[in-house]
Amino acid sequence: MAKSGKMGKVELGEPGKEGCYLQVMMLDIPAEMEADFNRVYDTDHAARLSVVPGVRSVARFQLESSSRTENMPRFMAIYVLDSPAVMDTKEWQDAAAAGDWRPLIRPHTFNRENHVWRLMKTTKA
């Protein structure tokens, strides 16, 4: 099991002071693999990525509803990053390759989408 990091929090910071980017990964998994998917993602894969330098936080979501009528992935992970370059580092690559994610889960994923977003502005209520 990976060391626990910044799971479950979404900390954006303030735009303009430091970079702030979201890597949004969406995907599907066959229903019969869902329990293993959730276990490995939460206790291994995302936990490893959450301690990579430049990763501010990680949060996971399951689709509740959508205006998209076809092919909307059911699962989403949001990685809050200092820079998109974090995903190119050896630390990120090593963390992504370690554990059970790549050999046991990733081959069964489908309908994958990966997006990187740059923070433009935050507004406090």
Decide: helix, strand or coil at residue 76: strand
Residue 123 — very low, low, confident or very high, per pLDDT cuts 50/70/90?
confident
Residue 63 — very low, low, confident or very high, per pLDDT cuts 50/70/90?
very high
Structural domains of the chain sorted by starting position, each given as residue range(s) with its CATH number in brackets: 21-64+76-118 (3.30.70.100)
pLDDT of residue 124: 73
Distance between CA atoms of residues 61 and 46, nearest Å: 12
pLDDT more than 70, % of the chain: 85
Task: Give the torsion sign (CA, 77, 81, 85, 90).
Answer: negative
> Among residues 63, 41, 53, 125, which one has the least CA distance to residue 90?
53
Residue 10, pLDDT above cutoff 70: no
Distance between CA atoms of residues 6 and 31, nearest Å: 27
> Among residues 5, 3, 21, 1, which one has the least CA distance to residue 78?
21
Residue 78, pLDDT above cutoff 90: yes
* Distances from the Cα of 69 to the Cα of 31, 66, 112, angstroms: 19, 7, 16
Residue 14, pLDDT above cutoff 60: no
What mean pLDDT value characterizes the chain?
Answer: 87
Cα 121 off chain centre by:
21
> 88-98, pLDDT tens digit by residue?
999 999 999 99
Cα 20 off chain centre by:
15
